[in-house]
Chains A and B, each alone.
Chain A
């Protein structure tokens, strides 16, 4: 199998290339931009030890934002509304512009942040309403509705900002920063507002964890149970709107979707359950916020929003590779283990089938035959389609497990344990063969053919029938030789009532 090996090589290459490429990139940028110098140790320490008040404020704000986005983003991702979040954040722009104009008309400077964010929320909600309306009353698909709303609202917003530029009244220069974000502008009160909203979001998600979980998994069933799914959906969307709006200042409306989607997507690689997924996602969001703020304090020329997203993507890449639940490396290891197990079973079967011809095979007396029949390497090699290298490795592994013995004349034979295991393997294999021959019309789906407990998969009466067939052809296999293996009678008795099996009948 060349593919996993190539994968591993690529992996190592990437890992070694990563740090060097990062260093190179920073070198290049420092050459091009003379004003940007790498930070001194002094500054690094100052930032990392949180000695700077401004840095502390920004970090607090971006971490709260990342945390809230990680939590509500999980719900959004699982409800399959990721693109809707993107459309929403783009739909906030005209609201910002209009709020500015209204505030200027009423005599203010137009830079009052809560006012701007209120405008953003309202136009975000309007965008959402447009998507819902288009989907409900036309036969357009959701992606078309999203595309229309996203581009129309964003275009409208850009046009309004253009008008503001020409208005002469008020200072409009700050408004552009909502598009790409500008963390340096964050004040203590802004950070506090972000934290309050984050707390609120986390609180609602915690309180309604069960309801939101049900909605995301199976909305139809939830509805049949009388849960108000429209209202629950509205709650999720409202939380997404407010988190997006508080993130506009720090991350900007274009990149906000990344902070909503990337942390939960990364978290999914580490766990198979929802609650840990939310915690991990919140952690990744907060860590990205922290790193983004730290970088932008060290390198003031870099936009913090972009760095937050880059850090989050880096964590995503690491999770994709090394995640313990679904990571690529983890899957490769699983796959290697499985192919090793299959190879070992093939080896045991090959050795057993060689010994089957000999007369000495009997149920009671196991040890004599175990050593009596042996096979040469060459014979084993032609028994299956495996490479000499793979066979040698498999034999070595089987010897280390004390299933196979290597004799002095370079021949191999089963040990006592090996024979018992081989019998179990051959029995299961033949039962499966019989099953497929006689009942191929009822093909089982996703069956683990290496499974020890056929009764669970095929049902007790089917196994009984197959055992009968097996007894005619191979009497020595019909009754399992090892006390570890399933005793067919008792297993049938238990499985017949669909009770869980006790640990004694399980093999590891």
Chain B
């Protein structure tokens, strides 16, 4: 299935109405070393059956940065994460984590899937779920020891959920469930975190808590890639943005890339959304 030529009309439809759309904007970030970049994606194409979902995605994530991935529904944001993690097959392309294939570097990567991806009625408590982040380290057929439970507990404390450790997970609110998922990734002590919409449907205090944790991670030199929806908060939260709509429209430092012009290219003709975004950016500029 090597890079089959896709129907050009499908792609240009989705990317923008203009068939002569400009090449993706790439801004070098100075001290970027692609060899040791936490995550470099090279010319990745992903297709479900014959319909391309991602086309020639190519970027390097600079180390120690908070990266927001922005794009309309169906732009392939989750697909990008999943393909990078080998969860779905790639039609072409290659993904390197700190200079080596992901297969060899799994221990360095923490993945936070979408909250809706699991059945929260499952008979486990919050601590059990967090301990799952340690299973790889514990290894085959070994029990979860007291020491492991302690580190899981620490991760729960980090996300402000220590009081709920023994609670069955369906009795947690959406925000609390999201924090549990975050704690499960934190307990891995990874160097690169990939998070799929951690802010979706969470309450205000959880959003603040998660942002604080993301900033702590960045301070500790970790790299975090977050699929994000809320255009209003992009400038506050992220150093870098990736604007995605089936292919990368633009990526680089937020200040340079998160512009109304680029957003227009990303979101196409969805005016209401665009106006709101432009308004948000204007307001950000004033303050």
Contact = CB atoms under 8 A, between A and B. Distances in A.
Contact of B173 (A213, A218, A272, A446): A446
Contact of A459 (B109, B158, B174, B204): B204
A210 B143 contact: yes
Interface of B: 82, 85-87, 103, 106, 109, 111, 113, 117-119, 122-125, 128-129, 132, 135-136, 138, 140-144, 157-160, 162-163, 168, 172-175, 184, 201, 203-205, 208-209, 212
A333 B88 CA distance: 47
Nearest to B160: A498
A498 B144 contact: no
Contact of B122 (A217, A223, A446): A217
A221 B141 CA distance: 18
A211 interface: yes
Contacts of B119: 80, 217
Contact of A224 (B111, B142, B174, B175): B111
A499 B153 CA distance: 12
B97 to A, nearest CB: 12
Contacts of B174: 445-446
B265 to A, nearest CB: 29
16 contacts: A208-B140, A218-B118, A220-B82, A220-B87, A225-B136, A273-B128, A274-B124, A446-B172, A446-B173, A446-B174, A456-B163, A456-B205, A457-B205, A458-B205, A495-B160, A500-B163
A268 B106 CA distance: 34
A80 B122 CA distance: 11
A224 B85 contact: yes
Interface of A: 78, 80, 207-208, 210-211, 213-214, 216-218, 220-221, 223-227, 268, 271-274, 277, 439, 442, 444-447, 456-459, 462, 495, 498-501
Contacts of A218: 113, 117-118, 132
A268 B203 CA distance: 30
Given A220-B117, A500-B157, A225 B123 contact: no
A224 B87 contact: yes
B157 A499 contact: yes
A458 B106 contact: no
B159 A498 contact: yes
Nearest to B109: A224
Given A447-B173, A498-B158, A273 B123 contact: yes
B124 A273 contact: yes
Chain B CB within 10 Å, residue with most, of A220, A223, A457: A220
Chain A CB within 10 Å, residue with most, of B113, B123, B158: B123
- Please name the 4 residue pairs, one residue from A and one from B, whose CB atoms are nearest each other, closest first: A459-B205, A498-B160, A446-B173, A500-B162
Contacts of A501: 163
